[in-house]
Amino acid sequence: MTPSPRRLWLYLSTTYPPLLTAPFAAISYLALAWSLLAARGLPPRLGRATLAGILGTFLFLLFLRVSDELKDSESDKIHFPERLLPSGRITPGDLWLLWWVALAGLIGVQLLVPRLNGYYLALLIYGLLMFRYFFLPRLITSHLFLALLSHNPSAFLLQLCALGWLGADPGLPSPFVARRGDLLICLLFYLPALLWELSRKLRRPSEETQYQTYSSLLGPRRAALLTLTVALGMLGLVVALGPRLGTSILALAAQMAAFLLFAGALLRFIIQPEADGPKLGMVGQAYAIAFYAIAFCDLALRGPRAGGMG
């Protein structure tokens, strides 16, 4: 069946709404890139390399979303028959068109800057290997933690790409050279993605099905405790890196408040797994968005941009 603009928009507006995902890509990338600049005593800046970073983030997340739909089409018929593809409201042809458009866009992003971003090239290769389950589909799909270990590093690679985009920015006062401490900053900005991945697969015992979740494999309390441990590690990095990044007291307080809200939801689940409450996946997603938004606002309000578009 020929791809339909109506079905394509149905998919995008339902699963990857651009009016939400584009601002998220911009805020999350800028917060990371400006943090890397702040660690060098440099103010926030916009440039052509910035556009590459934002577009690369937006398109890679779209690529992952569509890739997952295509990879999991058979299992979704069993576990999530209400989704757009299993229910027949969109077709595989629609998704394949989006997949190729996203991939072409990802390749085109590199053309925005004159210097090859090695991290970005590694990300594209890794994304394609993920799409093929690293040529071990049966092994990976039957082991949730193996899927986590093999797929989630792509989110860390996405953060490392900021080092390459900044290195390709000719408008900086001196060439951007990656430092060892940059890995901790990239790790901090990666952890919200890991937290969301863990929290979205926490379910009440009565909600468990044959679909693998961390709560079904570890038990609800241990799985939630693992998620809380990662969140504590993330908060520790926020505090430890605060002086280096020049984090304001107000931003630090906001980050702690966001953590307490997330931790409170996890603790409630640990104490009473069957208690009514919001889905932990939604709470984890909200915490990730809050983290990036707080960091972005704190950095954006520090002063005039250096250099402007260039």
Going along the chain from its start, the domains and CATH numbers come out as: 11-300 (1.10.357.140)
pLDDT at residue 133, as a whole number: 87
pLDDT over 70 (residue 28): yes
pLDDT in tens, 31-61: 999 999 999 999 999 999 999 999 999 999 9
pLDDT at residue 303, as a whole number: 54
pLDDT at residue 180, as a whole number: 87
**What backbone phi and psi angles, to 5 degrees, belong to 40?**
-105, 10
pLDDT band with cut points at 50, 70 and 90 for residue 236: very high
pLDDT in tens, 125-180: 999 999 998 888 888 888 999 999 999 999 999 999 999 999 999 888 777 888 88
pLDDT band with cut points at 50, 70 and 90 for residue 307: very low
pLDDT in tens, 59-77: 999 999 999 999 988 888 8
pLDDT over 50 (residue 306): no
Give the largest Cα separation in the chain, rounded.
Answer: 58
Gap between the Cα atoms of 153 and 175, Å rounded = 27
- Give the global pTM: 0.92
